[in-house]
């Protein structure tokens, strides 16, 4: 079988690799020196090319294919400054995370699970309920589209100590763009107006709908 999109190598066993295509895992033979985490093209059940990470992510982005780490990170990063304020991460680590966020180049899974460990407690619980791996894209989408807000509503984990205004900032909202000013969007949701960065949605314009989390527009709809 030929895959027109890059896959991510998950496991290497001799000359056989397991390649992950956003949750769909396939075995392929390889004559190339690959390791877990590499992106590859497969044709006829054989690894025919190894790609560097940037080219792979560009290809996946062009084809609108969700990369689990990227999908998770773009929603998770906006609250990273709270971890900075609490001393969970240092300024240098925060700056590196921000650079990765703005360049659509997320950390690997191990780093993400370490930094955002409290969130993964809930993600793993949800994955168990869905009978899927916790990095399955369907699990991550369900988490950010529905489950995350329910956790806040139920005041689970640290959210029980948050003020109402902070909890509202941490919710995922569907908002309408009502104005655009430089690198910022003015958005409206329910009866509220908020200013957010448009770093991930540079082409958004008044009248468009966007998903927002804290001070960022995450994606246009």
CB 67 within 8 A of CB 28: no
Radius of gyration, alpha carbons of the chain: 19
Average pLDDT over residues 202-221: 92
CA–CA gap between residue 20 and residue 26 (Å, rounded)? 7
pLDDT digits over 36-65, tens only? 888 888 888 899 998 886 677 666 654 445
pLDDT digits over 75-127, tens only? 999 999 889 998 999 999 999 999 888 877 788 999 999 999 999 999 999 99
In a shared domain, residues 145 and 177? no
pLDDT digits over 21-44, tens only? 755 678 999 999 999 888 888 888
Phi first, then psi, for residue 143 (nearest 5°) are: -65, -55
Per-residue confidence (pLDDT) for residue 60, from 0 to 100: 64
Residues spanned by the domain of 44: 7-62
Per-residue confidence (pLDDT) for residue 1, from 0 to 100: 44
In a shared domain, residues 137 and 182? no
Per-residue confidence (pLDDT) for residue 102, from 0 to 100: 85
Q: What is the DSSP letter of 65?
A: P
Report residue 44 as tokens: 């006829």
Apex 151 CA angle, 107 and 217, nearest 5:
50
In a shared domain, residues 36 and 78? no
Report in angstroms the alpha-carbon separations of 44 from 19, 27, 39.
13, 11, 17
Angle of helix 68-76 versus helix 91-102 axis, rounded to 10: 120
Phi first, then psi, for residue 47 (nearest 5°) are: -70, 120
- Is 1 a member of any domain? no
CB 205 within 8 A of CB 189: no
Q: Give the three-state DSSP class for 170.
A: helix
What is the per-residue DSSP string for 86-112? HTSS-HHHHHHHHHHHHTT-PPPHHHH
In a shared domain, residues 83 and 131? yes
- Is 213 a member of any domain? yes
Per-residue confidence (pLDDT) for residue 58, from 0 to 100: 67
Confidence tier at 4 by pLDDT (50, 70, 90): low
In a shared domain, residues 41 and 105? no
* pLDDT over 80 at 2, yes or no: no
In a shared domain, residues 189 and 140? no
pLDDT digits over 157-208, tens only? 889 999 999 999 999 999 999 999 988 999 999 999 999 999 888 888 999 9
39, 62, 85 - which closes a domain = 62
Per-residue confidence (pLDDT) for residue 22, from 0 to 100: 59
In a shared domain, residues 42 and 102? no
CA–CA gap between residue 192 and residue 188 (Å, rounded)? 6
Q: How many domains does the chain have?
A: 3
Identify the CA nearest to 42 among candidates 61, 54, 56: 56
pLDDT digits over 131-162, tens only? 999 999 999 999 999 999 999 999 998 899 99
In a shared domain, residues 100 and 152? yes
In a shared domain, residues 176 and 162? no
CB 34 within 8 A of CB 12: yes
């Amino acid at each position: 079988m030929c895959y027109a999109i890059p896959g991510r190598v998950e496991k290497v066993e001799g000359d056989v690799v397991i390649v992950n295509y956003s949750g769909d895992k396939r075995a392929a033979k390889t004559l190339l020196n690959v390791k877990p985490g590499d992106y590859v093209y497969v044709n006829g059940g054989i690894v025919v090319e190894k790609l560097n990470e940037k080219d792979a992510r560009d290809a996946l982005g062009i084809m609108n294919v969700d990369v689990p780490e990227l999908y998770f990170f773009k929603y998770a990063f906006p609250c990273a400054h709270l971890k900075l304020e609490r001393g969970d991460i240092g300024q240098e680590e925060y700056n590196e995370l921000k650079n990765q966020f703005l360049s659509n180049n997320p950390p690997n899974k191990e780093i993400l699970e370490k930094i955002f460990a409290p969130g993964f407690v809930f993600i793993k619980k949800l994955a168990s309920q869905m009978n899927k791996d916790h990095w399955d894209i369907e699990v991550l989408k369900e988490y950010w589209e529905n489950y995350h807000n329910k956790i806040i509503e139920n005041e689970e984990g640290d959210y029980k100590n948050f003020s109402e205004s902070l909890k509202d900032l941490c919710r995922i909202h569907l908002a309408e763009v009502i104005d655009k000013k430089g690198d910022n969007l003015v958005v409206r949701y329910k009866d509220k107006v908020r200013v957010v960065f448009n770093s991930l949605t540079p082409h958004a314009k008044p009248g468009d709908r966007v998903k927002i989390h804290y001070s960022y527009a995450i994606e246009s709809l």
